[in-house]
Amino acid sequence: MSPLIEVRGLRYRYEDGTDALRGIDFTVYPGETVVLLGANGSGKTTFLLHLNGLLQGEGSVRVCGMDVSPRNFREVRSKVGMVFQDADEQLFMPTVLDDVAFGPLNQGFPAEEAAARARSALARVGLGDIEHRAPYHLSAGEKRRAALAGVLAMEPEILVLDEPTTYLDPPAQRNLIGLLVSLPQAKVVATHDVRFAAALATRAVFFDKGRVAKEGKLDEIVELFQWDWGT
Amino acid sequence: MHIPDNFLSTRVWLTLDGVAAPAVAWVARRAHKGLDEARIPLLGVLGAFVFAAQMVNFPVGVGTSAHLVGGALLTAILGPAPAALVMTAIIATQAFVFQDGGVLALGANVFNMALAGVLAAWVPLRLFSGRRRVSLFLAGFLSVAMSAGLALAELTISGIRMPPRLLALSAGLFAIGAIVEGMITLAAVRAIERLNPRWIGPAPANGSRAWAAIAFAAVLVVVVGLFAASGAPDGVMQIGQWADLHARPVWAAPMADYSLPAGPLWLRRPAAAMLGLGLVGGSAVAASYFLLRRRSS
Amino acid sequence: MHHVVVEQWSRRRSFLHVRDARAKLLVALALLAALATAPASPISAVPFAFLVLTGIAAARLPMASMLRKAAVVLPFSLLFALVEWAAGQPMAGMALLAKSYVSALTVLLLVASTPQPLLLSGMESLGAPRLLVLMAQTLYRYLFVISEQAQHMRLAASCRQGSGARRSRARAFQAAAGALAILFARSYSRAEGIQRAMAARGFTGDFHSLQRRSFNSRDTVFACAGAALAVLAHLVARRP
């Protein structure tokens, strides 16, 4: 089976000269859910931004067999659906339906087809009844699911989620876990929430100072780095 | 300074809507040329920022406080055309969503604050780009003085006669408001620069100082002239009368047969006074257009 | 927050809510212009007030709250009404007060019966520059998000002021400038986040939008009838 994501020797340096990523190797196969753990500033978010070319560093990043480079951005961004930490920044259109249709419209679908895709994505995340609401009036959980619908409408093969449980209360977290488990796509999830990770992860990767310090089973990693304060 | 509907006479709001609509369309085209569409969110968000920034109180005296107006700050950050467009979006939102300022008077308010106000801010920024503090203060001062002066003049021409004492008082308050806006603009830009110097666009390169000086003089003449004219409305009316006398045959002839309630009669003296004001403003705009071109080339 | 309430009202359903935004805009402009050109007497506002109140009832909007919200123009109008009164023209002052209030109510009815995205796209198809419309859309979307941040900062600032020693006015002024700069920095990074989120979903510089429903025959009838009523109200105001 060929990998969906294949990253080799990825390095990235911020404009101020700090090394954010110092040689990352990373692979994701179809059907996997890989959880990224690590302290704030360990490079998780910076790494995720390379998966669809929002940041470009040295080394190679391949998605579905394509190099992530400007000439492939269009296809790569259709394959990799990225849900950001701040849902308010992701839901920038005036209504939920407009927002979810934003991706399909950019993929070149005509308005009717885009709206149909948006509606089916909204139904998929359980928000079929709020398409004309303004994003501002949604709860944190609804915002997160609407943001997810926005990328699902593009029918990606990989979902990338950055701290998806931020601002969510426990019921909304459970709801999100159920939803993510039901989605067939491969997933890459950066999170601090070990319970959330345990419910999803098929594999875990620990980031430390811009490097992959360890990868393997979630339990091992949690134990090795004493990442869970609860037990 | 947001003029509601029914304060301006029909000729005044109609004229200014007629001036502002094509001017905004032109500014939008200009702004679009120099702008990556990916940066549209930034303009919109900065519009929301100026709204929110008006909630930050600046202490100015015994128990009173002032807040930012924002035209000069936006001009310093974005340059004149995008700043004028953001201000237009702000003023339109205030009119429609918050009923702050009229919808028919939108042209007047946009002309005063988004077009003339931003122009008045931009000229000193351009002219004294080497002397940052002076130019920032003057930008804030002139933009508010220009907007307020125009608003006063438009109200006066519309036949709202303020007693001289009240007029002097409001002119005085506007002058203080202009000084405060200058101080806030200066302090805010410097504080933003301290956080990240890249956010404030580089001071414009040296262009033709002669033109900038002429534009600056035009702005000064208009600002001073507006306050003087508001103080002596009869003088303005006299000029209007004189211009009307000469212009009436031209206007009246083609419209003489119309019997609509808004027939030839609505083009009367004040319209001529507005025309004069428009000419002076127009020459300032024209002078600055030259500078805009130099900056973008 | 004013606009959040109005936003919710605008998403209700009624005869007025389902009309095309362009039709409502044109009728509102006709009403405003007809009122503005009516004689300077408080009685001029009466037929227009009747039409707008009927509209509020037809849109099933809360009458008392609408009347209260439109009162934002009153302080400004009252000041000038007093000026006119002092100048010996009490009727002109009253007219100013009545007409500006009814105008504000007309605009409020328009925005309370039309969702903002439809209003903006209506304005665009009536000739407003696209860039301006897109910008106004983003401005409106983030107005509350950023205002909320400003409120938090104001709260935090007032907490600090209470405890510390009394600062000089110049220091307080500088502190306010600093707060403004922080608000700016947050707005700026939010804008960058939005730009990133747009790029992540394939945005390359061209805004596409979903088709909006088109002007139907009912909208045409509404626009014509509304304009005719505006003219009628104007004529009534001229010859009482």
Tell whether C228 lies on the interface with B, counting CB pairs under 8 A.
no
Domains and CATH numbers, chain B: 10-296 (1.10.1760.20)
Q: In terms of DSSP bridges, do strands A158-162 and A5-13 run parallel, antiparallel, or are they unpaired?
A: unpaired
**Interface contact A137-C199, CB threshold 8 A:** no
Cβ separation of B4 and C187 shorter than 8 Å? no
Q: Quote the pLDDT of residue C99.
A: 94
Domain ranges of chain C: 2-125+213-238, 130-200
pLDDT computed for residue A60 by the predictor: 94
Q: How far is Cα C129 from Cα B20, in angstroms, rounded to an integer?
A: 12
Chain B positions touching C33 (Cβ under 8 A) are 104
Closest CA to B43 of C188, A22, C25: C188
pLDDT (average), residues A101-111:
93
pLDDT band with cut points at 50, 70 and 90 for residue B269: very low
| pLDDT tens column, C48-67 | 999 999 999 999 999 999 99
- Tell me the pLDDT band of C163, cut-offs 50, 70 and 90: very low
pLDDT (average), residues C205-232: 85
Q: Give the span between the Cα atoms of B255 and B213, in whole angstroms.
A: 42
pLDDT band (50, 70, 90) for residue B275: low
Determine contact: A74 vs chain C, CB below 8 A: yes
Q: Which position has the higher pLDDT, B197 or B281?
A: B197
Query: Average pLDDT of A70-76?
Result: 92
Give the mean pLDDT of A130-159. Answer: 92
- Please check whether residue B24 is in contact with residue B122, taking contact to mean a CB–CB distance below 8 angstroms: no
Q: Locate the chain A residue with the closest alpha carbon to C207.
A: A106
Q: How far apart are CA C62 and CA B283, in angstroms?
A: 49
Phi, psi of A13 (to 5 degrees): -120, 130
- Strands of the sheet containing A158-162, edge to edge, are A80-83, A158-162, A186-190, A33-38, A203-208, A211-216
The dotted CATH code for A5-224 is 3.40.50.300
Compare CB distances from C194 to B4, B41, B68 and report the shortest one's residue.
B41
How large is the average pLDDT for residues A123-150?
91
Phi and psi angles of residue C59, each rounded to the nearest 5 degrees, phi first:
-85, 0
Q: Confirm or reject contact between C125 and chain A (CB < 8 A).
A: no
Q: What tens digit of pLDDT does each residue of C68-123 get?
A: 999 988 988 888 888 888 878 888 889 999 999 999 999 999 999 998 888 998 99
Element (H, E) at A19: strand A19-28
Quickly state the pLDDT bin for B276 (edges 50, 70, 90): low
| pLDDT score, position C92 | 87
B93-116: pLDDT as tens digits? 999 999 989 999 999 999 999 999
Cα–Cα distance between B78 and C220 in angstroms, integer? 42
Q: Measure CA C153 to chain center.
A: 26
Helices (H) and strands (E) in chain A, counts: 9, 10
Instruction: Report how far residue B231's alpha carbon sits from residue B171's, in angstroms, rounded to the nearest whole number.
Output: 9
Does position B248 have pLDDT exceeding 50, yes or no? no
Q: What is the pLDDT of residue B264?
A: 35
Is C5 touching B (CB cutoff 8 A)? Answer: no
* 3-state SS string for B141-160: HHHHHHHHHHHHHHHHHCCC
Choose among A58, A33, A36, A34: nearest CA to A45: A36
- B240 pLDDT exceeds 70? no
Which pLDDT band, with edges at 50, 70 and 90, does B83 fall under?
very high
Residues 183-212 of C with CB under 8 A from B: 183-185, 187-188, 190-192, 194-195, 198-199, 203, 205-207
Is residue A100 a contact partner of residue A150, using CB atoms and an 8 Å limit? yes
Residues in Cβ contact with C170 at an 8 Å cutoff, skipping those fewer than 6 apart = none
Side-chain-side CA neighbours of C126 within 13 Å: the count stands at: 16
- What are the residues facing A37 on neighbouring strands? A206
For residue range B125-182, what is the model confidence (pLDDT) as tens digits?
888 877 889 999 999 999 999 999 888 888 888 887 777 777 788 888 888 889 999 9
- Which has the minimum average pLDDT: A218-222, B84-88, B257-261, C207-211? B257-261
Q: Distance between CA atoms of C49 and C42, rounded to whole angstroms?
A: 11
